[in-house]
């Protein structure tokens, strides 16, 4: 049973056809590498899955149940979480505060309620440990490396026990060592049975973590196959249009 | 061999002193203490009960509003209308009391007037998406004008049946300490706790740090912003009531240019105009330092024309200091 299936999704903005008749499915724990040139429709597809846009035609199903998302919160309720490219972190707050931002646990003391920092730090430390990331819950995010920031953003999605995590260019603009760290984080998610949709321009990253590769070109899905049956050369050809379909 | 557990569990700053030293408040407080010590040695008028009482009372008004300003600045905004909210509040309470209304009811009206200035600021900034600088510049002009209309631009010095109550609250003292100082202390304690331990406080700093992130995580950013501007206006309203009682008379030039002193106090105390940083304690220490500078210039017989030069220099030094510290890191 696929975790998420997309059937015949099309999306047009006025006269512009951003996506036409895209069908995909992703299994639990599967890592799907979504590739394509700028403007190929990757962001549109991801935003439809995340509930930011509604498709013009087509259907989404989570665990074989048809779903309709009117807003991002609807998608989150179905266990779909998005890690944004700019990570959406507040630099001036601690890692734990960022993980729990907007969902801080409260404790009671007589008539007052206050934020339960000790449980926030404990749970965050636990999440970082699961992600095998050397991130300290009390540290300010400002002082963190790209890999640690990514861990904070991913830990935030884990709080809600997600089924699917989508990541937009998580390895852009970080150092080589941190890229390895982020790819490890993705493997941890997959180990826990969480499906990952990974958007990236970096071919080596995709081939090192993805089970399946999907390529979009001008709004059309031109390839969806197992990573071990494809090659960077083939994918490059598909992205540029040198190879029609595969 | 350090394990992952050790690394995750390790705290960043080891010693308490290192942590204290990393705050701008510490350095500003040190400067204020040094200035006080120097004045005690250089003059025989500074460390007198009378003078210290005056310093404590004078700085209190700026300090109260600086706490509200710190909240606004930490959320990434600015409130230029506080000086006008002060005069509006003071004028509403004087007009109401001189028409025979009791103190408590008039005080509620005064705070209500100030809060409505904050409400307008908040709605225009949060919901209409207008820049805080422009919106509060507008209400700065509008609120003072309202105070003039309300009083017909006359001085009010008779406050009806509760006249003595108002004078006692704003100008009196208990245990040898001026009443406004009690308000400062209470507000500092309450707001220090609120900034750190409530969602309202945390979310305020989150907005200042990265507003986009705050929106994406589902924080009700717009509603929160309105409440922040209302809080700032509330502190201004409170200061207005106390100032009316302290002065014993209210004119429409009360609180003129006060917003600049208040912003200076907040910034010297560590509030970052880019948002995301600031403390209640910093705000009052900043206000204290400004008052000590002002007071010392008078006691040392230096022309008051130099005040602006000293305070201005200090603002720039405080911010430059913070810059260099971050730069070094």
Mean pLDDT of B264-268: 89
At residue A9, the pLDDT reads 86
Tell whether B217 is within 8 A of chain A (Cβ): yes
| Distance from the A237 Cα atom to the nearest Cα atom in chain B, whole angstroms | 36
CB contact (8 A) between residue B276 and residue A138: no
- A-chain residue closest to B12, CA distance: A139
How many domains are contained in chain A?
1
Q: Is B278 near chain A, with CB under 8 Å?
A: no
Q: What is the mean pLDDT of chain A?
A: 85
Q: Nearest-CA distance from B182 to chain A in Å?
A: 22
* pLDDT over 90, % of chain B: 38
Strands in A31-36's sheet, in edge-to-edge order, are: A80-83, A164-168, A195-199, A31-36, A212-217, A220-226
User: Contacts of residue B216 in chain A, CB cutoff 8 Å?
Assistant: 84, 88
What's the domain range around A194? 4-79+162-240
Number of A:B CB contacts under 8 A?
80
CA angle A42, A47, A48 (to 5 degrees): 100
pLDDT above 70 for B162: yes
Question: Is any Cβ of chain A less than 8 angstroms from the Cβ of B12?
Answer: yes
Say which CATH number the domain at A181 has: 3.40.50.300
CA–CA gap between residue B70 and residue B243 (Å, rounded):
20
Residue B10: the pLDDT is 64
Residues in chain A closer than 8 A to B220 (CB atoms) = none
Q: Kindly list the residues from chain A whose CB atom is less than 8 angstroms away from the CB atom of residue B209.
A: 90-93
A115 contacts in chain B (CB < 8 Å): 197-199, 202
Residues 6 or more apart whose CB falls under 8 angstroms from that of A120 comprise A96, A97, A99, A100, A104, A105, A137
Q: Are B53 and B173 in contact (CB under 8 A)?
A: yes
Of B8, B198, B210, nearest to A135 by CB-CB distance is B8
d(CA B125, CA B133): 9
**Angstrom distance (rounded) from CA B143 to CA B86:** 9
3-state secondary structure of B210: coil
Report the gap between the CA of A15 and the closest CA in chain B (Å): 29
Q: By the 8 A CB rule, do B81 and B255 touch?
A: no
Q: Which residue has the tokens 């973590």?
A: A209
Tokens 């507040």 map to which residue?
Answer: A90
Q: What residues have CB less than 8 Å from A160, skipping those under 6 apart?
A: A76, A79, A81
Contact assignment for A114 to B208 by CB distance below 8 Å: no
- What span, in angstroms and rounded, lies between the C-alpha atoms of B84 and B63? 16
Q: Quick one: pLDDT band at residue B328, thresholds 50, 70, 90?
A: low
Q: Per residue in B137-160, is it b (16+ CB within 10 Å) or e — as a string?
A: ebbbeebbebbbebbeeeebeebb
Within-domain flag for A26 = yes
Q: Select the more confidently predicted residue: B169 or B246.
A: B246
Roughly what angle, to the nearest 10 degrees, separates helices A146-158 and A176-191?
20
Interface probe for A, chosen from B11, B205, B209, B221 (most Cβ of A below 10 Å), is B209
B277: which chain A residues are within 8 Å (Cβ-Cβ)?
A: 92
In which region does residue B152 sit, left (phi positive, over 0), alpha (psi from -120 to 50) or beta (all else)? left
Segment A185-206 shows an average pLDDT of: 87
Of A102, A106, A156, Cβ closest to residue B219: A102
**Statement: residue B1 has pLDDT above 60:** no
CA B87 from centre of chain: 15
Q: Which residues of B108-123 are buried (b: 16+ CB within 10 A; e: fewer)?
A: ebbbebbbbbbbbbbb
Instruction: Render pLDDT for A3-54 as a digit per residue (tens, 0 to 9).
Output: 888 888 888 888 888 888 888 889 998 999 998 888 888 888 888 888 888 8
Q: CA B117 to CA B110: how far, in whole Å? A: 11
* Angstrom distance (rounded) from CA A174 to CA B252: 57
In whole angstroms, what is the distance from residue B302 CA to residue B309 CA? 12
Considering the domain boundaries, does residue A235 fall inside one?
yes
CA-based nearest distance B93→chain A, Å: 32
> In this structure, what DSSP letter does residue A110 have?
T
Please give the residue of chain A at the shortest CA–CA distance from B277. A92
SS3 category, A17: strand
Q: Cα separations (Å) of B165 from A70, A84, B27, B171, B299?
A: 58, 57, 39, 10, 32
CB-based contact B65:B264 (threshold 8 Å):
no
Q: Which residues of A touch B7 (CB under 8 A)?
A: 134, 136
pLDDT tens figures, B190-235 = 999 999 899 899 999 999 988 888 887 778 899 999 999 999 999 9
The answer to whether residue A27 is domain-embedded is yes
Report CA-CA distances (Å) from B32 to B43, B49, B158, B285, B286: 16, 18, 38, 8, 9
pLDDT tens digit sequence for A135-177: 888 888 888 887 788 888 888 888 888 889 998 887 776 777 7
pLDDT tens by residue, B10-31: 655 556 676 666 677 787 788 8
Beta bridge partners of A191: none
Those residues with Cβ within 8 angstroms of residue B17's Cβ, 6 or more apart along the chain or in another chain: none
Instruction: Tell me the per-residue pLDDT of B49-105, one tens digit each, with 9 for 90 and over.
Output: 888 888 888 889 999 999 999 999 999 999 999 999 999 999 999 988 888 888 888
Domain limits of chain B? 51-296+305-328
The closest of B221, B199, B274 to A101, measured between CA atoms, is B199
Contacts of B296 (CB under 8 A, 6+ apart): B35, B38, B39, B46
CATH code, B51-296+305-328: 1.10.3470
Q: What is the pTM of this model?
A: 0.84
Render pLDDT for A205-246 as a digit per residue (tens, 0 to 9). 888 888 898 888 888 888 888 878 888 888 888 888 777 777
Which residues of chain B lie closer than 8 angstroms to A113, CB-CB?
198
Structure tokens at B86: 């002060």
- B274-305: per-residue pLDDT in tens? 888 888 998 998 898 888 888 888 888 888 78
In whole angstroms, give the CA distance from residue B149 to residue A113: 43
Report the sign of the C-alpha dihedral through residues B13, B17, B20, B24, in that order. Answer: negative
Element (DSSP H or E) covering residue A22: strand A16-26
B3 CB within 8 Å of a chain A CB: no
- B178 contacts B60 by C-beta, under 8 angstroms: yes
**Set of chain B residues whose Cβ sits within 8 Å of the Cβ of A86:** 212
């Amino acid at each position: 049973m696929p975790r998420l299936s997309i059937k015949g999704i099309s999306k047009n903005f006025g006269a512009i056809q951003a996506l036409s008749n895209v069908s995909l499915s992703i299994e639990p724990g599967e890592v799907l590498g979504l590739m394509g040139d700028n403007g190929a429709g990757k962001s549109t597809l991801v935003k439809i899955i995340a509930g930011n846009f509604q498709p013009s035609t087509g259907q989404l199903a989570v665990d074989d149940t048809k779903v309709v998302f009117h807003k991002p919160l609807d998608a989150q309720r179905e266990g779909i979480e998005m890690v944004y490219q700019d990570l959406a972190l507040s630099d001036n707050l601690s890692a734990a505060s960022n993980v729990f931002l907007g969902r801080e646990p409260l404790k009671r003391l007589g008539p007052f309620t206050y934020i339960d920092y000790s449980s926030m730090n404990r749970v965050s430390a636990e999440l970082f440990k699961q992600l095998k990331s050397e991130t300290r819950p009390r540290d300010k995010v400002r002082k963190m490396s790209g890999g640690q920031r990514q861990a904070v953003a991913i830990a935030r999605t884990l709080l809600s026990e997600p089924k699917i995590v989508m990541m937009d260019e998580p390895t852009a603009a970080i150092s080589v060592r941190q890229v390895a760290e982020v790819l490890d984080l993705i493997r941890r998610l997959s180990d826990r049975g969480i499906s990952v949709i990974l958007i990236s321009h970096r071919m080596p990253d995709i081939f090192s973590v993805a089970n399946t590769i999907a390529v979009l070109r001008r709004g059309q899905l031109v390839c969806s196959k197992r990573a071990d049956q494809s090659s960077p050369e083939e994918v490059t050809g598909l992205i540029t249009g040198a190879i029609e379909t595969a | 061999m350090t394990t992952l557990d050790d690394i995750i569990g390790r705290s960043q700053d080891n010693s308490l002193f290192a942590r204290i030293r990393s705050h701008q408040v510490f350095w500003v407080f040190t400067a204020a203490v040094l200035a006080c010590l120097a004045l005690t040695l250089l003059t025989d008028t500074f460390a007198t009960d009378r003078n210290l009482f005056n310093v404590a009372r004078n700085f209190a008004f700026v300090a109260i509003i600086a706490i509200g300003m710190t909240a606004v600045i930490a959320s990434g905004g600015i409130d230029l209308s506080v000086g006008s909210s002060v005069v509006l509040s003071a004028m509403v309470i004087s007009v109401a009391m001189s028409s025979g209304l009791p103190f408590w009811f008039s005080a509620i009206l005064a705070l209500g007037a100030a809060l409505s200035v904050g409400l307008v600021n908040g709605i225009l900034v949060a919901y209409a998406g207008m820049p805080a600088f422009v919106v509060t510049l507008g209400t700065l002009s509008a609120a003072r004008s309202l105070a003039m209309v309300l009083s017909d631009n006359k001085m009010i010095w008779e406050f009806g049946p509760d006249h003595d109550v108002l004078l006692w609250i704003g100008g009196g003292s208990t245990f040898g300490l001026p009443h406004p100082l009690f308000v400062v202390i209470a507000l500092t304690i309450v707001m220090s706790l609120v900034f750190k331990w409530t969602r309202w406080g945390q979310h305020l700093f989150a907005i200042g740090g990265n507003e986009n992130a705050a929106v994406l995580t589902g924080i009700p950013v717009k509603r929160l912003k309105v409440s922040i501007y209302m809080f700032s206006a509330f502190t201004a309203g409170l200061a207005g009531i106390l100032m009316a009682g302290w002065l014993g008379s209210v004119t429409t030039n009360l609180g003129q240019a006060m917003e600049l002193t208040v912003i200076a106090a907040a910034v010297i105390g560590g509030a970052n105009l880019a948002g995301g940083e600031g403390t209640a304690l910093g705000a009052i220490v900043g206000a204290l330092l400004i008052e000590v500078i002002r007071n010392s210039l008078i006691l040392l017989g230096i022309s008051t024309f130099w005040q602006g030069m000293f305070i201005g220099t200090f603002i720039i030094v405080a911010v430059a200091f913070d810059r260099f510290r971050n730069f070094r890191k």
